[in-house]
Amino acid sequence: MSIQRVVTVQLDRSASRLGQLLTGSVPIVGQALSSAADAVLAGMQLLKSTLGIAALLSIGAEFAPLVSRAADTSAFSVLLRLACRDRRAGALP
């Protein structure tokens, strides 16, 4: 996965530099195209981040019942041990 990420970053940088080189030839049109390309790239990055967060939340939602059940079981077992210990000590009738 890390090799894919490195290659993707390098391709993004190369495409950005090529776009800047090509759009820098004509000043007014080049600036407009450069700004538009920056806006598109920023939008793609925002979309990528949003999808990543959505995936993490989805995975978390899948495991939430399991974690909740484990926490309930742990709390119940602690309370049961305390009750048994108090009963052995004679604190409860």
Closest CA to 19 of 5, 39, 4: 39
What pLDDT does residue 13 have? 76
Average pLDDT for 56-75: 82
Q: Which residue has the higher pLDDT, 64 or 24?
A: 64
Taking CA atoms, 87 is separated from 79, 81, 91, in Å, by 12, 10, 6
Distance CA 84, CA 74 (A): 15
Looking at the chain, the whole-number percentage of residues with pLDDT higher than 90 is: 0
Question: Mean pLDDT for the chain?
Answer: 75
Sole residue written with tokens 């990420």 = 5
What pLDDT does residue 89 have? 57
What pLDDT does residue 73 have? 77
Is pLDDT above 60 for 58? yes
